[in-house]
Amino acid sequence: MKKFTFFLLVVLLFSSVFTGNTLAKISSNQAAELIFMNGSVYTVDEDQSRAEAVAVKDGKILYVGDDEGVAAFKGIDTRVIDLKGKMLLPGFIDSHAHAYLMAESLFWLDVTNYSTLEEYTRAIKDYVKQNPDSKQLRGVGWKRDLIESSGLAPKEWLDQVVPDIPAVFISSSHHDLWVNSKALENAGIDKNTPNPQGGMIERDPKSGEPTGILQEFSAHNLVINALPQPDFTVQEYKETILAWQEFAAKNGVTSVFVPVHYPTENLLKAFEDMENESKLTLRYDLGLWADETKGTAQIGRFKELRDNYQGKLYKVDTIKIFADGVGDSELVWDQDVLEETVAALDKEGFRVYVHAIGIQGFYPSGNVLDAFEYAAEVNGKRDSRHAITHIDWVRENDVDRFKDLGVIPVPQPAWFGNNWYDDIRGEELKNLNRLNSYFEAGIPVASSSDFPSTAQFLSDFRPFTGLEVGERKDSKRECP
């Protein structure tokens, strides 16, 4: 497929589209900037018809039809691309991709592909040697089972390699942080430090001392916010966006929703700069992270950021909430605070986008639907397009609630073939990785990749991976 596919890297805004093979002569100001011809154009119309040519101007489609008809849109300065029989597709929309996190592999130490402690040691020492003036060490891709195999507390192993500056590594899932003693000391974390709402400081069962692993974002931020440089610079984000745009273009992605994991204004400044410099080549919808420890108190700041950062190709109108973490049967938010915060955000016109994975017997998606239902009761229904993402576990009676409340499911179909749930049997399979249930209920589904949540993010990001795995599902199970 890839060999014979040519992606149309233009957002499809189907206004004033001409079709057919006979057109009156047009004026020069209607001449297209770009013409694709001699191709097999996948139109995605109701009849699944095919065309030969497309004309584009100002980011909009002027014409879809045959080669004879498109000739009327050719001007003196029109660029013409001969597809030579290749397929032309509309651009894909990724409804959940952390584009900004490509910065981690560009500017941090990436240990994702290392599988031994010896490799970790060598890579860390080399990085420190190459960056002798660094006041901190940031890394990504560490593996818990590998670190715990050392027989030492995680912080103690890292202390052996990096004793004198804070060292902080995030896992590929981005839900676990591994740090050394200096990072804990720098943040003032000891055995008397309480767990923050929704997070956990892992502790030695005998001494109560922190082991060097922190779970979930509220706990991470205790360490990260105390670092000499807690965030990437505006310039680093700009370089990241340029690199990610090239990566996205190669995979046919032209629009993306970007949920943010932490508080950052530098990222927004980077988008604003690139908008002003005409360097954005995709459409971006950015979701700001809601801190579970602050509830409604943070909404004023969200409104300020929404007012200050809006562009033609990027917007800030969504708030990202974590209902649960990964692999735990606990809610991150107090339910009453969640409902009040969602209702307050809804009243201010924000779209609310909620992470809810669940595990067998634990369905946080239900709690999130309760919050959306409360918001609708308080504020009245509107075309809010609130969404719940991941949704590995959803009860059958909650499917209709998605439809009734107008909530959009945002799964990651590329994950369906993983072995995470191979031990699930019987009736519970019906509640796992629903997809067809939404289709049968007439619920719009927004597919996504969650780039770069796993080590295999390169394959997970490709839209055709999600299309194939979502369609076929795991060969061992039928898709509920």
The pLDDT value given to residue 1: 41
With a CB cutoff of 8 Å and minimum separation 6, the contacts of 330 are 324
Q: Which residue has the tokens 């100002």?
A: 58
* Range in 9-13, 100-104, 157-161 the model is least confident about: 9-13
Tell me the pTM. 0.89
CA angle in degrees (0–180, nearest 5) for 118-123-127? 150
**Rounded mean pLDDT of 326-341?**
91
Calculate the alpha carbon distances from 244 to 59, 97, 347, 380 in Å.
20, 11, 34, 39
Answer yes or no: are the C-beta atoms of 72 and 25 closer than 8 Å.
yes
**Rounded mean pLDDT of 303-310?**
98
The pLDDT value given to residue 4: 36
pLDDT band at 419 (very low <50, low <70, confident <90, very high): confident
Whether residue 307 is predicted with pLDDT greater than 60 in this model: the reply is yes
DSSP string covering 407-444? PEEE--GGGGGSSTTTT--GGGGGGBS--HHHHHTT--
The pLDDT value given to residue 473: 65
Whether residue 322 is predicted with pLDDT greater than 90 in this model: the reply is yes
Answer yes or no: are the C-beta atoms of 338 and 197 closer than 8 Å.
no
Mind listing the pLDDT tens digit for each residue in 360-376? 999 999 999 999 999 99
**Rounded mean pLDDT of 249-275?**
96
The pLDDT value given to residue 480: 52
Mind listing the pLDDT tens digit for each residue in 429-453? 889 999 999 999 999 999 999 998 5
E strand segments, 75-204:
79-82, 87-89, 92-94, 109-110, 137-142, 167-171, 176-179, 200-203
The pLDDT value given to residue 30: 80
User: In whole numbers, what is the pLDDT of the chain averaged over residues?
Assistant: 90
pLDDT > 90: what percent of the chain? 79
* Range in 125-134, 246-255, 404-413, 450-459 the model is least confident about: 450-459
The pLDDT value given to residue 347: 98
The pLDDT value given to residue 325: 87
Whether residue 471 is predicted with pLDDT greater than 60 in this model: the reply is yes
Answer yes or no: are the C-beta atoms of 38 and 120 closer than 8 Å.
no
**Rounded mean pLDDT of 203-231?**
96
CA angle in degrees (0–180, nearest 5) for 172-179-197? 80
Residue 205: both structure tokens together: 């069962």
